A and B are shown apart, each in its own frame.
Chain A
Amino acid sequence: MNLLRFLADNRAEVFRLTLEHLALVAVAMLFAVAIGLPLGVALCRRAGLRRWVLAGASVMQTVPSLALFGFLIPVPLLGGIGARTAIVALTLYALLPILRNTYAGISGVDPAVVEAARGMGMTERQILWRVQVPLSLGVILAGVRVATVVSVGIATIAAAIGAGGLGMYIFRGLAMVNHQVILAGAIPAAILALLADFGLGWVERRLAAS
């Protein structure tokens, strides 16, 4: 079919755009995990902080992605056009699932286990790292998986602000009213999302089994 022919004919460009897309998602996820995990852990301790942080992340998710990209453009340092702004937006979107799952996972550990740990003389930090985190890895990973899949989808919008990725085909196809080109962007992006979902799901299952 024509789509396959198009993908084959333009495989260098398809490959390049796919890599760009993956790079955007990967960097954003790295930041999101680096910020979200420790923050999620901190939330377990402080009820006051929790309310604000979770509310903030929820609000972030409700902002339509295209709008968020637009809002960020005039922001100094983080903004402008290009990959950096896209990564900031993607990171913000990925935060909520990660935060929420980290917090839920850690606070959801059997209280008897935590009490036993405390009673036997483990420090709070030891309890966190040796008991709570290992026991909530499955839930935390589920949050990372959701965040990643969502990011692959939202990253298609990055093309609107000059950040590249598979969204370029989608926007180009929209401008030229060429369905084939639109699909050349949409379908690989969907495949990427599915791969991320399955891949991380597999890791999750391995962790749950062990």
Chain B
Amino acid sequence: MRRGTILALVFLLSWLGGCRSEHDGRLVVGSKNFTEQIVLAELLAQLVEARGGVDVQRRVNLGGTLLCHQAIRAGQIDLYVEYTGTALTAVLGEKPAGNAAEVLGRVREEYARRFGLRVGEPLGFENTFAIVVRGDAARQFGLKTISDLARHAPGWRAGFGYEFMERPDGFKGLASTYKLRFNATPRIMELGLLYRALKENQVDVVAGNSTDGVIAALDLVALEDDRGYFPPYQAVPVVRWQVLERLPGLREALGAIAGKISAEEMRRLNYAVDGEQRDVKAVVGGFLRSRGWVSP
């Protein structure tokens, strides 16, 4: 009888421990599975902890866009950074159309209406898909735009991530817009491997992110989207409305950084983690202090 009681207590405690209650004074920040997202999640977390006095749990590296979206809808995370173009095409399933402001407006409206999610002010930079080639190849063939690439594409080998292949604003649309054809089927692999594969000459072109830190460092070149195929991808915080109501400190913290992070700064932060192999927490802490958003 006593053993049974102890077991029951153990189960009860672990279940309680696993519970995420609405009524905690706590925030869960999530992220997708690439460096920039992890950096941004850490940035928001430290910001809110310092300025909002809120207890923050990080659940980073969750996988792709749709996984994060599901997680926030289910309340398993409260906040993450999305990109407006991605939200429009991959989440809302609409065709990419309109300029940055239009896309933002549409996304904000639909997210509130359909999901009860609040889309905050843009952080200040865009992160679009970047079609990246090696520097020497770009120079040799005079490649500046994706149209330039399309002329040489058939003989080249491409490497893409799973999400890029499947998303409506991904490879299929790109291929048809630019008449981009590869003789060899593109290699599909985990995101983290793409740049390495490109550098080591196992593929010739990859779809990366425009704010990836290593692009310049590895002497890679991001080609210009001369036909404007990709929609705008402004980085915006997406947050559950209940949490916003519950934590006024959160609203204040988000307000403090709205529009204040540039693409160049994002790239540098990314590079500090990817290229210099520095610890995310330290990089973010240093950045926040240097901008005066948290006190030293």
Contact = CB atoms under 8 A, between A and B. Distances in A.
Contacts of B197: 80-81, 162
Contacts of B70: 177
A81 B66 contact: no
Interface stretch (B157-165, B247-255, B262-270): B157-165
B24 interface: no
Interface string B55-75: 000000001101100100000
Nearest to A171: B162
Contacts of B187: 81-82, 162
B64 A176 contact: yes
Interface in B64-92: 64, 66-67, 70
Q: Chain A contact residues (Cβ within 8 angstroms of B): what range?
A: 10 to 19
Contacts of A176: 64, 66, 162-163, 166
Contacts, number: 60
Contacts of A161: 189-190, 193
A73 B203 CA distance: 14
B196 A175 contact: no
Nearest to B164: A175
Nearest to B192: A70
A30 B261 CA distance: 54
Contact of B63 (A74, A159, A162, A174): A174
A82 B203 CA distance: 10
Contacts of A160: 189-190, 193
B162 to A, nearest CB: 4
Contact of B189 (A74, A81, A174, A177): A81
Interface in A58-89: 73-74, 80-82
Interface string B135-167: 000000000000000000000000101110110
Contacts of B188: 159, 162, 168, 171-172
A175 B163 contact: yes
A74 B162 CA distance: 22
Interface string B179-214: 000000001111001001100101100000000000
Nearest to B196: A73
A160 B189 CA distance: 5
A159 B203 CA distance: 16
B62 to A, nearest CB: 11
A177 B67 contact: yes
A175 B66 contact: yes
A162 B64 contact: no
27 contacts: A73-B196, A74-B196, A80-B197, A81-B187, A81-B189, A81-B196, A81-B203, A160-B189, A160-B190, A161-B190, A162-B187, A162-B188, A171-B188, A172-B165, A172-B166, A172-B188, A174-B63, A174-B64, A174-B162, A175-B63, A175-B66, A175-B163, A175-B166, A176-B66, A176-B162, A177-B67, A177-B70
Interface of A: 73-74, 80-82, 159-162, 168, 171-172, 174-177
